[in-house]
Amino acid sequence: MKVVILAGGMGTRLAEETEVTPKPMVEIGGKPILWHIVKHYAYYGFKEFFIALGYKGEAIKRYFFEYYSLNGSMTIFMVTYGDGVSDVNLKDLLAFHRSTGCIATLTAVRPPARFGGVVFDGDLVSEFSEKPQIGEGWINGGFMVFEPSIFRYIEGDRTVLESQALERLASERQLAAYRHDRFWQCMDTLRDKRLLESLWQEGHAPWKTWQ
């Protein structure tokens, strides 16, 4: 199964680190955060990766259509962001997705308060909230699973997955939420980077599922 990693973040709040180095290449424990993400997927047996240099959907769509035109029919695949780590159980995530019958599943996590949120209706996502969450809200933490029919929701290079395709799926009750209440952390700011670095150096990195 293929894993798409969206690695096009600008890292404007990580200016000191990303002036020369792309955000997914900023290091935690001497290795790029992208390496940590790949290692987590590899631990669960996922070995085929496609690094998408942007958050636009068309590049992903083009890649999959070209690949499968040469290599057979399209299949389910995974997608995540190139700036977030977690100890989410990817096998359980995949099993949950298959049980829902939905086109897409995202991993919902509990964030710091600066993020917009996800509103649930049972196991489905009903809408996205733009306002920062206070208290016990949930957000899209990445670690998503998509059926090939997701490409019907990507109309061109201007389509942004989260703000357009996923919202449309939610409105059609085709977007499920796998709730993960354990460790998740993005690397959006220097404070985030320092937190992840300290966890790694202290030997308490929950996302380090591999040996």
Identify the CATH number of the domain in which residue 23 sits. Answer: 3.90.550.10
At residue 48, φ and ψ (nearest 5 deg) are -105, 120
CA-CA distance, 161 to 9, in Å (whole number)? 13
Domain count, the chain: 1
Residue 151 domain-assigned? yes
Of 57-71, 84-98, 195-209, the poorest mean pLDDT is in: 57-71
Q: Which residue has the higher pLDDT, 67 or 85?
A: 85
Residue 207 domain-assigned? no
- What residues pair up with 178 in beta bridges, in sequence order? 107
* DSSP strand pairing (31-32 vs 2-6): unpaired
Domain interval for residue 162: 2-201
Residue 211 domain-assigned? no
Question: Band of the pLDDT at 185, cuts 50, 70, 90?
Answer: very high
Encoded amino acid at 20, one letter? V
CA-CA distance, 49 to 28, in Å (whole number)? 20
* pTM for this predicted structure: 0.82
**In the predicted model, is pLDDT for residue 184 greater than 70?**
yes
Share of the chain above pLDDT 90, in %: 47
Which contiguous run of DSSP H or E holds residue 193? helix 190-201
Residue 195 domain-assigned? yes
For the stretch 16-37, pLDDT in tens is 554 556 778 889 999 999 999 9
Residue 15 domain-assigned? yes
Residue 14 domain-assigned? yes
At residue 80, φ and ψ (nearest 5 deg) are -150, 170
Side-chain-side CA neighbours of residue 47 (13 Å):
1
Q: Which residue has the higher pLDDT, 144 or 131?
A: 144
Residue 210 domain-assigned? no
CB contact at 8 A, 176 and 166:
no
Residue 73 domain-assigned? yes
End-to-end Cα separation, the chain, in angstroms: 22
CB contact at 8 A, 150 and 168:
no
Residue 117's pLDDT is: 65
Contacts of 4 (CB under 8 A, 6+ apart): 49, 50, 52, 60, 77, 78, 79, 80
